[in-house]
Amino acid sequence: MLELDTVTAGYDRRAPVFRGASLTVAPGESVGLLGPSGCGKSTLARVAALLHRPDAGRFVLDGTEVTAWRHRAPRELRTAVGVVFQQPRTAADPRLTLADLLVEPLRATGRRAEAAARLAELAPAVGLTPDLLGRRAHEVSDGQLQRACLGRALALRPRWLICDEMTAMLDASTTAALVAAVETYREETGAGLLAVGHDRVLLRRWCDRTVEWKDCLPAEEGP
């Protein structure tokens, strides 16, 4: 279970972006989080991806309360969550070839020996042909780079996947291919998904249920 319970977070403790947001995703479930631009969806997604420490509230992942974020988070929690962002250009190290990008998490966790075998599975799973694997970020399209970023997120076989506007800048066919790659992975592994975005039609079609941002927040005080 992924449980965000009355979380307050932002970038200035005196003026948080949101207060008291709650959201739960069951194992194997896919939840789409919809809301207006700037409300804080990405910030909440980053809390769930162990990338942003909240100011208050609880985050419980598979029964373990998270008390440390980013590099301080225990490895078994960090590797349980894969994350894909909107902008592959800012999320990918430009020095790496797509092949190295795909298996970067294996190298970072001391599992270099598994890299070749995992690469052979990941590249076709995200639709990257062998000719693309030797190229660097500046030599591929946004869609091709985003495929590599999705592959990287799947490299350690996470139990949870967080897709923050993963397809916002992609065309319809690349969007469909990336959604299909996520769903194939989920069918194989039973992973849960939190997909954040504005595209109501896409998220309703993709996810088991969608949640409106306002429904994550506490009901307003009565008059």
Ligand X SMILES: Nc1ncnc2c1ncn2[C@@H]1O[C@H](COP(=O)(O)OP(=O)(O)OP(=O)(O)O)[C@@H](O)[C@H]1O
| Residue 90 touching ligand X (CB under 6 A) | no
| Residue 17 touching ligand X (CB under 6 A) | yes
Closest CB to ligand X among 43 and 167?
43
Closest CB to ligand X among 37 and 173?
37
Q: Which stretch binds ligand X (CB under 6 A): 33-41, 115-123, 133-141, 171-179?
A: 33-41
Interface with ligand X (CB under 6 A), residue from 14, 15, 37, 131 = 37
Structural contact between residues 160 and 125, judged by C-beta atoms closer than 8 angstroms: no
Interface with ligand X (CB under 6 A), residue from 14, 15, 38, 219 = 38
Task: Name which of residues 43 to 62 contact ligand X (CB under 6 A).
Answer: 43
| Residue 32 touching ligand X (CB under 6 A) | no
The amino acid occupying position 15 is A
Angstrom distance (rounded) from CA 31 to CA 151: 20
The least CB distance from residue 103 to ligand X, in Å, is 29
Chain contacts with ligand X (rule: CB under 6 A): 11, 17, 35, 37-43
